[in-house]
Structure 1
Amino acid sequence: MSEATRDDLLRAAVRLREEGRPEEARKTLVALAAGHPHDAEVAYQTAWVHDVLGLEAEAVPYYEQCLGTEGLTADDRHGAYLGLGSTYRILGRYADAVSTLGRGLAEFPEDGALQTFLAMALFNTDHHHEAMRILLKIIARTSDDPRIRPYRPAIEHYAQDLDQTV
């Protein structure tokens, strides 16, 4: 298959997914992935469409493949970490979710979405304090709520140690 054909098919499949026709996109992407087994971008798009369809278990190998191969843009690597971490969590593979989201945060340390999904996975692994700490820091950093803003310093302080008393 020529590179032009690969690019055309990939663009068409992404367009189908974006137009709300994920099953059609999936058929194209699965065939494309079979013909390009080491193509990170094709694997990522194939994983994504499986997630859209609620086929999380089928998405996992494609996510793992795309993250284990060179060739993704930074945005797509971010999406792959988030997608795989979230998918692991949905499948009850909580330790894998924590590990994957942690690797994503090593590359994208300030990313609130990765932090939020990591907090959920940490909750699922009974690391409640760490999950709460992450979420409180996100709230303090990102909230525009006028009733929260004045308490930002206190929230940031308590995020470090929720058990602290006077």
Structure 2
Amino acid sequence: MIEGNRDERLAEAVALRASGEREKARQQLLALSADSPADAEVAYQTAWAHDVLGLEAEAVPFYELALADNGAGLSEKDRRGAFLGYGSTLRGLGRYSKAVEVFRRGVAEFPDDNALRTFSAMALYNVGEHHEAMRTLLEVVAETSSDPGIQGYRAAIEHYAKDLDAVE
């Protein structure tokens, strides 16, 4: 067992992941998760450690724990990351409907988070909600692009994003 308190152990594991020692970080986080099974922050970091190793299926239960009670126990930054990581992981596993559900929860809490909105659009595409996916992407492009051509037509892009099938 790794010596030290929860905060020290968590900081060490996160530093290991950041420095590229991903498997060692995962092992330490698994041990910490066993000692702190209801800790949302530990669960989120453990999920992330699995994701960076391509162990998406193993990350799922940790994301679920991290986001239980709407991510109570996570900082705002970590809640955003947990929604993005969990939704993306589900999408990567082909669990598209569940991914859409997770992204909708995340976007509802963080409506201005363009990464969440973009990944949500990908999941929406996967479940056949092409209009909603395209609308979302057009809105993100119009809002965030610094391209002069896009900005010159921003109002038109935003107008058409509302209903691409409308004929004027």
TM-score relative to the length of structure 1: 0.96
Structure 2 counterpart of 1:90:
92
Structure 2 counterpart of 1:137:
139
Deviations 1:30-86 (A, max 9, x none): 010011000111000000010000000000000000111521101101100110000
Structure 1 counterpart of 2:37:
37
Structure 2 counterpart of 1:28:
28
Report the alpha carbon displacement of residue 109 of structure 1 after superposing the two structures with TM. 1.1
Deviations 1:104-137 (A, max 9, x none): 1111111101100110000000110110000000
Deviations 1:90-117 (A, max 9, x none): 0000000000000011111111011001
Whether 2:160 is the aligned partner of 1:162: answer no
Counterpart residue type for residue 32 of structure 2: L
Same amino acid, percent of matched pairs: 62
Structure 2 counterpart of 1:102:
104
Distance, in Å, in 2 between the alignment partners of 1:123 and 1:105 is 16
Counterpart residue type for residue 31 of structure 1: A
Report the alpha carbon displacement of residue 164 of structure 1 after superposing the two structures with TM. 1.4
Report the alpha carbon displacement of residue 7 of structure 1 after superposing the two structures with TM. 1.0
Q: CA RMSD in A?
A: 1.4
Number of matched residues?
165
Whether 2:53 is the aligned partner of 1:53: answer yes
Distance, in Å, in 2 between the alignment partners of 1:122 and 1:7 is 38
Counterpart residue type for residue 27 of structure 1: Q
Alignment gaps of 5+ in structure 2: none
Counterpart residue type for residue 67 of structure 2: L
Classify the secondary structure of the residue corresponding to 2:148: coil
Distance, in Å, in 2 between the alignment partners of 1:160 and 1:25 is 45
